[in-house]
Amino acid sequence: MIQNRWVSLLSLSALGVSALTGCERTPPSAEAPVAAPEAQKLPAPKPMTAEQLAHFFKPLPQRKDAPPPPEDTDAQVALGRMLYFEPRLSKNHDVSCNTCHGLTTFGVDNKALSDGHKGLKGARNSPTVYNAAGHIAQFWDGRADTLEAQATGPILNPVEMAMPDEKRVLATLTSIPEYTKRFREAFPGDKKPVTMANTARAIAAFERKLVTTSRFDAFVGGKHDALTEQEQRGLQLFATTGCTTCHNGPAVGGTSFQKLGLIEDYPGLKDAGRFDATKNEDDRGKFRVPTLLNVDKTGPYLHDGSVVELPQMVRLMAKHQLARTLTDPEVDDLVAFLKSLTGELPPAEFIAPPELPPSTAKTPKPDPS
């Protein structure tokens, strides 16, 4: 079911709301200078026919070098759900994955910067975990290629869950009989199933189930009254503003890295973005394009959580990525369309905290240092 979701959802390969994050565009030639951004006036977009819109909603082709999706078992998903909510995977036994990526709050904590070990804050906003399986990579700088590669990073991060090393993590897990039993059930072919790799594998299996569906999915599926008249106007504007490479794919984003402040420098930008992961100067100031699914619920926005309101985000990105000043009606229509991307969360019983196994006498104690 989850795999079909990614195959059947819209591509948006030419439909990015670059009004929300950077789009790569061919720079103008030296022979054809353009007016300064504040003087530039773009023509009003022409409405698109249903046939033209349908053309943009084709599934993305599969990457030839992409590994086949894993076949997650029920045992792995159940284990991953427990580990996702497990605070004993943190140094002081008070932080879990769900702390920063709350499943009942659309996969975020709605804070600019999340609180980690001893209330420490990192430098980047916690992105939503919902629909993350459709992303080209994980983290704002894309330093993790897969959900598995991302899953254990926060556990060992000194600012987040702050476990000192893998040895401490595995000592905690193996000291709890229920976990050793569940690891054996989830990975029956492994002689030593309790490993960091299998911990990551289980958490990723659970996260692949965290998918939302919206009225826009119904619209793309042919239910043309699923969107209101205003939302359809916003969709038309979304499709015709000229940013056709950013927010694409099943997650309406997450499929590329783009420079923040492509046309006009973004004020106060200090974060080097993807450069931190690649050390390639061309990647300085680039970030993974965020998904727009549930965007109305996942603010504040940008890598640093510095923008609180969605209409302001739309205006800022139109200015810095497109050199365009949107009218109030245009912003209203775009925001209305973006709100149609808010989906239904998975069943409440699936995303509620499970009953976690009790600690044993030999379980490593919390370390508040």
Kindly list the catalytic residues: 160
**Is 317 a known ligand-binding residue?**
yes
Specify burial of residue 102 (Cβ count, 10 A radius: 0-12, 13-18, 19+).
middle
d(CA 133, CA 3): 10
Tokens (6 digits) for 226? 């699923």
**CA–CA gap between residue 227 and residue 216 (Å, rounded):** 7
With 0-12 / 13-18 / 19 or more C-beta atoms within 10 angstroms meaning exposed / middle / buried, residue 90 is buried
- Cβ 18 vs Cβ 241: under 8 Å: yes
Residue with tokens 């490479």: 245
348: amino acid identity, one letter: A
DSSP track, 24-83: --PPPPTTS----TTT--PPPPPP--HHHHHHHTPPPPPPTTPPPPP---HHHHHHHHHH
- The Cα-based distances of 134 to 85, 207, 327 in angstroms read 22, 11, 32
- Residue 187 tokens, joined: 């990975």
* Amino acid symbol at 329: P
The CA-atom distances, in angstroms, between 204 and each of 145, 269, 272 are 12, 32, 27
Alpha-carbon gap, residue 316 to 284, rounded angstroms: 20
CB-based burial label for 248 (10 Å; 0-12, 13-18, 19+): buried
Does the annotation list 23 as a binding residue? Answer: no
Q: Establish whether 320 is an annotated binding residue.
A: no
Sequence-separated (6 or more) residues with CB below 8 Å from residue 296: 310, 335, 338, 339, 341, 342
Could you tell me the two tokens for 158? 């000194």
User: Binding site membership: which residues?
Assistant: 97, 100-101, 117, 243, 246-247, 317
User: Binding site membership for heme c: which residues?
Assistant: 97, 100-101, 117, 243, 246-247, 317
